[in-house]
Amino acid sequence: MTIVTGYKAKKPDGTIVDLGSLFQNITTTTSSSVKTTVTTNYDVSGVDLNNYFYSISYGTSIGYTIGYTTLVSGKYTDLSKIFAADGSLNTLTSTSGMLSVHSKLDKIAENFIMPTSYNYFNFYIYGAGGDGGTPNPNGGNMGGAGSGAFIKALNIPYKSNNIIITSISYFISANAQGDTYVTIYYSDNSSIELVAGVGSSNRSNTFTSGASGGTYSFKNKTTNNFYSSNYITGVNGAQGGGADRSSFGGTSNGHTSSGSAGNQYGPGGQVTGGIDSTYVSNTINAPDYTYTITSQGGGTNKTPSGFGAGGAATSQNYKGNASAYRAGTQGVIVYYLSK
């Protein structure tokens, strides 16, 4: 039931609405347990508005100023910063997940509250691998593609004082097509950005060194650093296998695998038995599920597979499937909640 307060506000689209249609009504619990401690001096039938609407501590802001202010700690504050937006109290239903649909900006959650007893988010982010190139068919060696970067962020709080997460967006890169990242937005307009960079591709058939791995980065813009950057760790992607080194094989950063170097004979060059890149596997233990992330860079006998793997420098028409050996693999994101 929507409470009609008699106070009107204008929405961003110009629509004039009653305040009762903007804020989440108290309907299922006693007002004393959820109302804001702020007296607004706006009342309905002699009862202050704070007895009718949920505190923003239990939901998210409507996202725009409505023009009605009240005095909070000596400062006039818009009511939209005090009450939770209507419809904002949906409980997050998933306690973990692996996100792998690439090339689409999407959201993990928006306008939500956490399941009972859960307080933190944790993220493991793997960048995409680069693409391998085509060596000169007349001779000459060519380096392999780099692997994606890795970044991990633990214990990201859903709530700090009266500041809560309003939405979490993400983007997963396909092979060689940009960075994979997560951005967490808070109700005070602060944010945390986590980036796992894409591995570099090797396009020049005169470049014998392996292409560089992706770069990890983050921006902690939380107010007064209420989230500590000490909980964020990462490692740059592995450099592609180099034809200027003793081994053509790709390497690993412990999370993703780079592609092998090659020449006119194929990935790994003319070596008996061939040369393949380092295979790597990570296990992530979420409260409700165990996730396994693998990465295999391209080589003489292996096409890139798993996540964040670099492609091999592959000669034309190699095994009738050269493009499969060159193509790096996409990024991936694993998240879970914790208490």
Query: What pLDDT does residue 159 have?
Result: 87
pLDDT tens digits along 113-122 = 788 889 999 9
Reduce the secondary structure of 59-94 to three states and give it as a string: CCCCCCCCCCEEEECCEEEEHHHCECECCCCEECCC
Q: Report pLDDT for 187.
A: 80
Stretches where the chain sits below pLDDT 70 are 1-2, 27-35, 88-89, 245-246, 272
State residue 32's pLDDT score: 44
Q: How far apart are CA 84 and CA 158, in angstroms?
A: 15
pLDDT confidence of residue 51:
83
Cα 169-11-3 angle, rounded to 5 deg: 100
Contact status, residue 180 vs residue 234, Cβ threshold 8 Å: no
Q: What is the pLDDT of residues 162-187, one digit of tens each?
A: 788 888 999 999 988 899 999 999 98
